[in-house]
Amino acid sequence: MSIRLRQIDRHHKEEFMDANVSEELERFMSRNLDTISGSGPDTDYAPYAIVSDDGRIVGFIMVGQKPEEGSYWLAKLLIDSCERRKGYGTSALRLAIQMLKESPGYKSVQVTYHRDNVAAKTMLERLGFVSAGDGKDGPIVATFTVSK
């Protein structure tokens, strides 16, 4: 199985919204594509469709950057419910990390997850992320230190 990440910009937003995806993924993408302009101070987020080798959109992920810190964030990963447990999430994270390795000025990649999301914790640890905190006071931050 191979996938690719295809960036969604303002000019191609409708193309992705017209794609044949489940209602769940369409709602998720619609909510998040409306925030393309940024999701916080000093942070720029870029949305990507996760596209299968046969051209179907199977998920969505946003990649954020805090240039002054040299850190990147992987946010809002969603795999369509009928496509879960097929390796798309792991492949998307690997591909995003590889993409960030080629970006200038990075130091780390971070992602958050909730402590009751055992599948996310397991996947992130398998990919080399290190979690901090126990999640009692909010999401757990997991960090992947990127080496070239």
Q: What is the pLDDT of residue 42?
A: 43
Report how many domains make up the chain: 1
* Residue 101 DSSP SS3: helix
What pLDDT is stored for residue 38 in this prediction? 45
Provide the domain limits for residue 53. 3-145
**Predicted local distance difference test score (pLDDT) of residue 81:** 82
Tell me what pLDDT residue 82 has: 83
Kindly report the CATH number assigned to the domain that includes residue 108: 3.40.630.30
Count CA atoms closer than 13 A to 144's CA, side-chain side: 25
pLDDT of residue 134: 82
Tokens of 26: 């369409």
Instruction: For the chain, 148 residues long, give each residue's pLDDT as a single digit of tens.
Output: 799 999 887 666 666 555 556 676 666 666 666 555 444 444 577 889 899 999 888 888 988 887 677 788 898 888 888 888 899 999 999 999 998 888 777 788 999 988 888 888 999 999 999 999 888 888 899 999 876 5
CA distance 66 to 137: 23
Q: Helices (H) and strands (E) in the chain — how many of each?
A: 4, 7
